[in-house]
């Protein structure tokens, strides 16, 4: 009888499952005692969800981010910029659209160009093919035929007019598609290439007395 009890006791203590249960029970007990010693403020700190990282400008230059934004609206500057982005860059990836927007706004800030968005976009319009943005003087009506594309570029226009940083083109004031080579391309400084466009900055002319 005594021998049988000893055998059972020995068999139980050497069972790995029993040993694991005992260790887990000990650990959970210690954890419960630690948690019970904390006040409510300390407990809330333990269970608070981690703060989400604010999106960077690189995050915002994506289709996914633009899809989260409401439909964009605005006044004349927004309308002119949205229209220019639609006709000049709607086939580009999002970064390319932002790049063209940078050029237009860089011109607004440059004293060599008109000081409004609409002035920049429509500069030279009236003389066929001698305007700054060809779509305004090519003799074709400016008809929006791709509403989804317009919604996308309109959101980019809204972001840029709301002072989104200009980080892509290094101050570019000109661009052209890769399929053409204007005569000024060999003179101006190329600052970036994004998608189908090369971007340039016009050299600053020194005033002579």
Higher pLDDT, 135 or 154: 154
**How large is the average pLDDT for residues 71-76?**
98
Q: Which of 7-21, 27-41, 84-98 has the highest mean pLDDT?
A: 84-98
What's the confidence (pLDDT) of residue 10? 41
Sheet holding 174-177, edge to edge: 174-177, 197-201, 189-194
Nearest of 182, 17, 26, 172 to residue 99 by alpha carbon: 172
What's the residue count for the chain? 209
Encode pLDDT of 162-176 as tens digits.
999 999 999 999 999
**How large is the average pLDDT for residues 107-124?**
95
What's the confidence (pLDDT) of residue 7? 46
Cβ atoms within 10 A of the Cβ of 21, count?
11
Looking at the predicted structure, is the pLDDT value of residue 6 above 90?
Answer: no
Q: pTM of the full predicted structure?
A: 0.74
What's the confidence (pLDDT) of residue 5? 44
What's the confidence (pLDDT) of residue 100? 97
Distance CA 56, CA 42 (A): 32
The answer to whether 102 touches 88, Cβ cutoff 8 Å, is no
Encode pLDDT of 39-70 as tens digits.
666 656 666 666 788 889 999 999 999 999 99
Q: Which residue is associated with the tokens 């300390």?
A: 42
Question: Mapped to the 3 state alphabet, what secondary structure does the chain carry?
Answer: CHHHHHHHHHHHHCCHHHHHHHHHHHHHHHHHHHHHCCCHHHHHHHHCCCCCCCCCHHHHCCHHHHHHCCCCCCCHHHHHHHHHHHHHHCCCCHHHHHHHHHHHHHHHHCCCCCCCHHHHHCCCCCCCCCCCCHHHCCCCCCCCCCHHHHHHHHHHHHHHHCCCCCCCCCCCCEEEECCCCCHHHHCCEEEEEECCEEEEECCCCCCCC
Higher pLDDT, 12 or 191: 191
Distance CA 17, CA 134 (A): 79
Distance CA 106, CA 113 (A): 9
């Amino acid at each position: 009888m005594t021998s049988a009890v000893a055998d059972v006791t020995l068999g139980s203590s050497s069972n790995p499952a029993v040993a694991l249960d005992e260790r887990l029970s000990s650990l959970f007990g210690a954890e419960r005692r630690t948690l019970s010693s904390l006040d409510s403020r300390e407990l809330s700190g333990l269970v608070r969800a981690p703060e989400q990282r604010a999106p960077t400008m690189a995050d915002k230059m994506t289709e996914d981010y633009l899809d989260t934004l409401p439909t964009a609206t605005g006044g004349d500057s927004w309308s002119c910029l949205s229209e220019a982005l639609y006709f000049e860059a709607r086939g580009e990836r999002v970064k390319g659209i932002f790049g063209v927007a940078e050029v237009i706004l860089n011109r607004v800030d440059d004293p060599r160009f008109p000081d409004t968005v609409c002035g920049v976009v429509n500069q030279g319009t009236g003389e066929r093919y001698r305007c700054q943005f060809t779509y305004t003087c090519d003799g074709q009506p400016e008809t929006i035929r791709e509403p989804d594309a317009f919604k996308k570029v309109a959101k980019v226009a809204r972001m840029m007019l709301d002072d989104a940083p200009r980080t892509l083109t290094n101050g570019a004031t000109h661009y052209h598609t890769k399929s053409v080579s204007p005569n000024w391309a060999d003179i101006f400084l190329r600052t970036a290439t994004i998608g189908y466009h090369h971007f340039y900055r016009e050299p600053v002319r020194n005033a002579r007395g």
